[in-house]
Amino acid sequence: MNMANVEPFAGAKMALYIGDRLATILRDDLPGLPYAGQWDLPGGGREGGETAFACVQRECMEELGLWVTEQDLLWEHGFVADGQEKWFFVAALPAAAADEVVFGDEGQRWELMREEAFLSHPGAVGFLQERVRWWCEIRGQTKGPPLA
């Protein structure tokens, strides 16, 4: 059974590869906003009784206008952070999906970023860099396109 569909959790994030690049979002730069003005990945907080995957799927649709399916998933893992369970997903879409992006109303802009650039970017959300780095180790390489 897929634990991302049954466990209680607070939120979910996704490393979404479009072709060989990561879909990233520059967060709004508002006082009091966590990680304000930093490069983020799609995802956010749970709404109602949705599953972790339904949460990140909804967030991807709201933030980028892209519908990610379970068939697009490469990896998923739950983490405990700040006393709450949070999920991290990795998914891949073809490069042509970039033409279908409709940027939502949260964040300043979106960008397809090389994996190495995200991992070394001083303005990226640190814990998400750690999650992507862990994914890189799991797939057995430190750079390059995701396993498909």
Give 45-104 pLDDT, tens digit per residue.
Answer: 999 989 999 999 999 999 999 999 999 999 999 988 777 889 999 999 999 999 999 999
Residue 148 within a domain = no
Cα-only R_g, the chain: 14
**pLDDT at residue 13 greater than cutoff 50:** yes
The number of residues making up the chain comes to: 148
Assess contact for 3 and 79: CB atoms under 8 A: no
Mean per-residue pLDDT over the chain, rounded: 90
Residue 118 within a domain = yes
Integer Cα distance of 71 and 121 in angstroms: 30
Residue 147 within a domain = no
Provide the residue range defining the domain that includes 73.
3-139
Q: Tell me how many domains the chain contains.
A: 1
Q: Which residues contact 65 (CB under 8 A, 6 or more apart)?
A: 100, 101, 102, 103, 104
Residue 48 belongs to domain with CATH number: 3.90.79.10
- Average pLDDT estimate for 10-36: 96
Going from the C-alpha of 111 to that of each of 3, 75, 119, 147, the distances in angstroms are 31, 22, 14, 21
Residue 124 within a domain = yes
- Average pLDDT estimate for 115-122: 97
Residue 10 within a domain = yes
Q: Give me the pLDDT at residue 7, please.
A: 53
Q: Please name which of 68, 69, 56, 66 lies closest in space to residue 103, comparing C-alpha atoms.
A: 66
Greater model confidence, 27 or 9: 27
pTM, to two decimals: 0.88
For β-strands 84-93 and 11-18, DSSP reports them as: parallel
**pLDDT at residue 124 greater than cutoff 80:** yes
At residue 73, what is the residue type? L
Residue 135 within a domain = yes
Residue 38 within a domain = yes
Residue 145 within a domain = no
